[in-house]
Amino acid sequence: MSTRPGTGPARHLARLAEKLRADPAYMARTLHEYQERERLDDDALARSLHLQVDQLPRLELCKRPSSRSKAFSEELRQIAVYTGADPVALAQIIRNVDSIEQMKNLPSTTGMEAKERALPSTSGLLAAARDSDAMDSDEESSDTSPKGDEPRS
């Protein structure tokens, strides 16, 4: 999916960025994960960040700000100024990748346990239906049966 420049210093930066895709401390990893999941080529990723495609390696070589950090906004702003990336789009990509990572780390459920969690309990509904049926039959029987204060024949 790469449409990166093929010669000179830009190519060296692109190769270095590719190597950093395995390191979660760099934007290269975050952007690559996002690209893979969204099936974006370099041109589409660059457009979404309002960048020229030849600026992607510069962004990928930046340290990744932690979205949990108090300094996240400031670090994101610095990256955006340095690379020319849209800070809002960049923040959305980082948070998107973080969300997926958090979901991957949730404990998985299998078999009956998953079915039990997926289906709500209906016991209260059935009991309410039975109570309603019982009340209806009580009303019907009280309409046809003699009242306690009326004389019986």
Tokens of 36: 């893979």
Tokens of 28: 């290269």
Asked whether residue 57 is domain-assigned, the answer is yes
Over range 47-63, report the average pLDDT.
94
The pLDDT value recorded for residue 1 is: 45
* CB-neighbour burial class of residue 108 (10 A; exposed 0-12, middle 13-18, buried 19+): exposed
Asked whether residue 72 is domain-assigned, the answer is yes
Asked whether residue 62 is domain-assigned, the answer is yes
Task: Report residue 22's pLDDT band, with 50, 70 and 90 as the boundaries.
Answer: confident
Question: Residue 21 in contact with residue 29, Cβ under 8 Å?
Answer: yes
Asked whether residue 124 is domain-assigned, the answer is no
Over range 140-151, report the average pLDDT.
54
Asked whether residue 139 is domain-assigned, the answer is no
pTM of the model: 0.62
Over range 48-53, report the average pLDDT.
95
Over range 67-93, report the average pLDDT.
94
Asked whether residue 75 is domain-assigned, the answer is yes
Q: Distance between CA atoms of 79 and 87, rounded to whole angstroms?
A: 8
Asked whether residue 79 is domain-assigned, the answer is yes
Alpha helices in the chain (DSSP H): 8-19, 27-38, 42-48, 56-60, 72-83, 87-104, 111-118, 123-144
The residue type at 31:
L
Asked whether residue 35 is domain-assigned, the answer is yes
Counting the structural domains of the chain, the total is 1
Domain, as residue range, for 31: 8-104
